[in-house]
Every structure is written in structure tokens, then in C-alpha cells.
Amino acid sequence: MRVALINPRFRLPIDTRTTPHLGLAYLGAISQRRGDEVRIFDMDVEDQPLGDFLKEFSPQLVGITANTPQVKQAWRTAAAIKQWKDIPIVLGGPHVSVAAENLDFESCERPDVDMVVRGEGEEGWIEVSDILDRCYQAKPDLTARELMDPRAGLWDKILGIAYKTSDRQLHRTLDRPAIADLDSLPWPAYDLFKMERYTNLQPATDAVDGSRSFSILTSRGCPYRCTFCSQSIMPIKWRARTPQNVIAEWRHLVEDLGAQEIGVLDDSANIRMQRLQDLADGLIENKLNHVPWIFVNGIRANLATKELMTKLKQAGLKRTAFGVETGDEEILASIDKRVDHDTIRQAFKVCKSAGLETIGFFIIGLPGETRETMQRTIDFACELDPLIANFSMMTPYPGTKVYEIVKRQGSMLVHDWEDYVFFDGKARYEMGEMTAELVETMWKKAYRQFYLRPHRVLKTITRKDFWINYRRTFRVAWRTIFPRKEKTELKRAIEAAV
Amino acid sequence: MTHVIVDTCIRDGACVEVCPVECIVAGKPEDQWPWFYIDPDTCIDCGACVPECPVEAIFPEEDVAEEFNAAIAINKAFFAEGPGYKANET
């Protein structure tokens, strides 16, 4: 069966880095293992028009991924495909997985979307593919309308999906349990991507864009339930690959694909510290520690011991991030982060003494914040003084506790999924005394106060990669100062003009 | 920091399923170790087990009520002196 996996174009108000979509890379791999002919069409880097791609490849099944700001692009892509031919179109990704807010049905209600696979997609995707393949073998020219005929009853046994039958009725099956054995999954299929077209995810070295940078997942999930985090839509059970399985893939990335840097994308890599110690030992023993790697999404500060971080440094770890979130004790307790500031201080100290670079993720505008609490966050960032401080505007994503709180007690300021981005300097909601103006002022102050300290300015301009990538650096700075207009803002302007 | 199971535990077992580090063990023999126990050296204090407990018998160590204080030492003793993880094998 011919299977196309599509990443719709991500329209963002600022320039960001592009990296192969790991979710599609896993789906591509599992479809290849099933025996399908697979193509990945990443509209972020593709220059071929979609219509030409469809005519050339003629897929029989299309999967489209979407996070919240991407979902409308996914619907537009689905519409363009259906104009070409009535083949089954399946959406997946975090946005459509929020069944509690009926966001699976929201997509299924679109005329051009046939089905949604919620949560971890691999097993559901293969079951859908198996059924379709059998149907196509019996009748190769079946249309989606025929496949979604309620009398056929093809889909009701597949867990974790929502779908629309041709009588326009919506259906939802029970949630699928999390994949227990991650070692059973194939490695991501990077051969399906035009790797030379991507930038590196988060430059860890002085290598210029286009360097061979790869991502890896050594575990999935997070047992913590921070109120702002979209991980809460995923199963609470944290699962890990064995160190042996991870090392085998790591060797493949380094030796077969020529990886120059590796980004570990786990949500909580250090839940079992012994596993990471074993992984580090394995990387050292197998002489894979010469390629620098980083924890892109952060690790738990309460589980970052000196022994562990020193061992990881020996294993090639160059940089790690921590989700610090806030400098205020009460706000920190209110977001269920289950960590305290002294523990965070200790984690940064341990990493710096081990010779590791650090990133701090901070949030401006959490529920209950005041000017004083936000100032404490900025001051705490300066005290920790990571190499990179990232200040995000609190964006209440559907499925999170903060989203529920804002819906109940505040007022959302964005009314278009495409504006749900958190790094663009625009407040997303107001609540109580926390006005948009205050949050936006403090967000700008955070960047100014942190990065315009004399020693920081000096540190930045003396970094080699700052000058190697100077064209991109200035382009990003320009877009950050002058972002593209958002959809909500454009709509208001059009309404005012009318 | 760790979580602690107190003596109102009814051996439901839902907590075991969600524990990401598999540090909750059913006490055996039951007459001697009548509850489930949390290994304080392995617990990462994530709290995943708390909402699963049907009788609210799991608490962060610092929040354990005075009447249940003995449970802190008993959880520890199950792993230090009692059968600990070996109970999973019987």
C-alpha cells in the first residue's frame, strides 16, 4: 500500500528552527516494517507543490500530524487532498488527542477528515493500515466514502480512534493503553526525510545549519502532572527503552548516518537514574561519546545528582535544560511541579561544576501571577544564570489544568488555534489583576534584564556560533522584534475595516 | 523525599500499575506485611500513585498525619529488613 505522511506547513509569527518530525519518522518506520511504500511530505521544507506530489506518488492512505497551531493547516491540507481524490485521511498529533475537549471530533467534523488517531499513534496506525490494505486487495479503487460506510463496520474494534462514517455520524472508541515495550518499535526512518534541508534543532556545536543533527527518544511520557504542560494528555506511565536498544540506535545515527550532534527529546529522561547511568556507561564503552548531545526538553532537577551528571558529561552530554518555570515559591507549589527552588539551585550548581552548559525554561504569566512574582522569576533566572534562558508566555493549551482554570476564571485573548504559540510576546489570556499589558511588559523585561547584563553581552558576542550563523541570528532577532501579524489580530483589523 | 502508604491501604493495587519506577510492592506474607509499601530510596515523589488510591492511603512523607507516623518507618523497614522486592517473586 502507498502511504503518505504529511507535516503541514507551520505558520509561525517568528522564524524557528526546522527539524525532522520524530512522530512521523516513527510512523514511517512502522509502516515500512509493515511492507508499505512510504513517503514523508514535510511542507516546512518541501518545494514541490502538494498537487504534484499527489499525482506523482498517488497515495492510498494519508496521515497528517498536527499540534494546536498547526491543526487548521492540517484541515486545509486534507481539503486539498480530497479535491484530488477521495482517499482516507487520518489526523494524529497532540491537538486532536484531547478527547476531553472533543478535539478529536472537532477534526472529524471537518468534511475532509475521515479519522483521528489519539495519543501514541503507532499501534492504531498499523491496525488502520492492515484493514485498509485488506480492503484494497479485495477492491483496489475503493473510495474513502465506501470505506467509511457504517454498514461495513470496519473501525469500531480499533482502540484510541475517532471517525466519521459516511452518514456523518461521529464515533469514538476507548483509549488505547500506552505502548509497554518501546524496544519493540523500529527506529525512526530518517531515510524518508530530505535531511539536508533541516537546520539543527538546537545548535549544540559550532557547526553551521545543515549539519547532520538527529533526534532520539530514549523514553516516553512523564509521571508528573504540571498544570501548564500538555504532557497531561498522555498516559501517566513513564516507559523507557533499554540502554542496549538506545545504544544500538545511537551507533546507527553516528556510524551510519554521520550524526554530528544528537538531541535527546525525552520529556523526563532521568526518571530512573540507574538507567541513565547504564546508558552513559554504554556510550563510553562503545566509544560513541565523541558526538556531543543535549537534553533538549529538560530533565528533572530533583533527580540530577552530581554522580549522574558527571557520568553523563563523560558520555558526551554537552548541555541540559531544566524546567524552572517560576522564581516564586507559592506559584511553584501551585503548578504541581513537585520540586523546590533549593533543589533547582543545586541541580544547576551540579551541572556547572560538571562542566555542562545549562538552559533554563521560565514561564511568564502563570495563573495567580503578579508583577512581583514575575519579577522573582526574572531575578531567579539571573541568579541561576544558565547559558540560555527561555522565557515563554503562558499559553493555555487544551487538555491542561491551566486551560480549565482560564476557561473558568479568566478570559482567553486568542480565538484562533493558529495563534497558540508561546514565544511571540503576546499575552494569551487575562485573569484577575493579571492584565495582558502587565504580562507582555514583564516578558520583554525578562529578556532585557537577563541578556543585556554586560557579562552576558560579552559571552554572547564571543561565541563562535553567534558569528557563524549571523545571518540567521539577525533574521530571528528581526522577526522577534517585528513578528508577522497573528490571525486574531488580522481578523480584528478586517472587522474594523468592514 | 518519598511517598508513604499508611495502614488504611486495602491492597487494591492500582498504585502499582502507575508507578513509573515500580517501587510499590504488595506486602507478603500478608499476615506480617498487610499493606502495600513504597521503597523510599527509589520513589521519585512524582505523586502518580496518589489519585489512583481508592481510599486515599498514600501521602507525601511530610504530609503524613501524626496518627499514621509509624507508617513512615514501616514502609522503610519492609525494604530494609523485610522481604522488599523479593515479595514480587513469591
Do residue A258 and residue A406 come from a single domain?
Answer: yes
Structural domain boundaries, residue A135? 2-172
Minimum CA–CA partner of A300 in chain B: B44
Q: Is the four-CA dihedral A131, A135, A137, A143 of positive or negative sign?
A: negative
Cell of A256: 551510519
A69: in domain: yes
Residue B41: its pLDDT value, please? Answer: 92
Cross-chain Cβ contact B21/A271 below 8 Å: yes
Whether A144 contacts A114, CB under 8 Å:
yes
A189: in domain: no
Do residue A203 and residue A168 come from a single domain?
Answer: no
Do residue A159 and residue A204 come from a single domain?
Answer: no
Cell of A270: 532521568
A363: in domain: yes
Domain with A309 in it: what CATH number? 3.80.30.20
Do residue A39 and residue A90 come from a single domain?
Answer: yes
Residue of B21, B52, B59 to mutate for A, most A C-beta atoms under 10 A = B21
> Does A208 have pLDDT greater than 50?
no
A85: in domain: yes
Whether A72 contacts A92, CB under 8 Å:
no
Do residue A386 and residue A483 come from a single domain?
Answer: yes
Which domains, ranges and CATH numbers included, belong to chain B?
A: 3-89 (3.30.70.20)
pLDDT tens digit string along A261-273? 899 999 999 998 9
Cross-chain Cβ contact A302/B1 below 8 Å: yes
Do residue A266 and residue A321 come from a single domain?
Answer: yes
A190: in domain: no
A163: in domain: yes
Q: Is the four-CA dihedral A334, A335, A337, A343 of positive or negative sign?
A: negative
Q: Which of A14-18, A360-364, A434-438, A470-474 has the lowest mean pLDDT?
A: A14-18
Do residue A273 and residue A392 come from a single domain?
Answer: yes
Do residue A129 and residue A220 come from a single domain?
Answer: no
Residue A464: its pLDDT value, please? Answer: 76
More confident residue, A469 or A351: A351
A338: in domain: yes
One-letter amino acid of A384: L
Minimum CA–CA partner of A340 in chain B: B1
Domain with A123 in it: what CATH number? 3.40.50.280
> Does A173 have pLDDT greater than 60?
yes
| ipTM score of complex | 0.83
Cross-chain Cβ contact B44/A236 below 8 Å: no
Average pLDDT (A81-91) is 98
DSSP conformational letter for B57 = -
Of A155, A172, A189, the last residue of a domain is A172
More confident residue, A469 or A188: A188
Cell of A183: 524496544
Q: Does A221 touch chain B (CB under 8 A)?
A: yes
Q: Which of B18, B21, B45 sits opposite A338 (nearest CB)?
A: B45
A194: in domain: no
Do residue A341 and residue A489 come from a single domain?
Answer: yes
Q: How close does chain B come to A175, measured CA to CA in Å? A: 16
Q: Does A371 touch chain B (CB under 8 A)?
A: no
Of A137, A172, A207, the last residue of a domain is A172
β-strand A161-164 against B24-26: which pairing, if any? unpaired
All residues of chain B having their beta carbon less than 8 Å from the beta carbon of residue A336 are: 47
Q: Which of residues 250-289 of A touch B (CB under 8 A)?
A: 271-272
Pairwise CA distance, residues A338 & B46, whole Å: 7
Residue A201: its pLDDT value, please? Answer: 60
All residues of chain A having their beta carbon less than 8 Å from the beta carbon of residue B18 are: 223, 236-237
Do residue A276 and residue A353 come from a single domain?
Answer: yes
Q: Which of A271, A302, A336 sits opposite B20 (nearest CB)?
A: A271
Q: Which residue has the cell 505523586?
A: B47
All residues of chain B having their beta carbon less than 8 Å from the beta carbon of residue A401 are: none
Q: Which of A113-127, A131-145, A458-472 has the lowest mean pLDDT?
A: A458-472
> Does A207 have pLDDT greater than 60?
no
Q: Which of A3-7, A212-216, B46-50 has the lowest mean pLDDT?
A: A212-216
pLDDT tens, N- to C-terminus, chain B (90 residues): 799 999 999 999 999 999 999 999 999 999 999 999 999 999 999 999 999 999 999 999 999 999 999 999 999 999 999 999 999 987
Do residue A347 and residue A427 come from a single domain?
Answer: yes
Pairwise CA distance, residues A332 & A337, whole Å: 7
Q: What is the dihedral of CA A179, B44, A358, A213, to 10 degrees?
A: -20
Indicate the number of domains in chain A.
Answer: 2
One-letter amino acid of B80: A
Do residue A271 and residue A405 come from a single domain?
Answer: yes
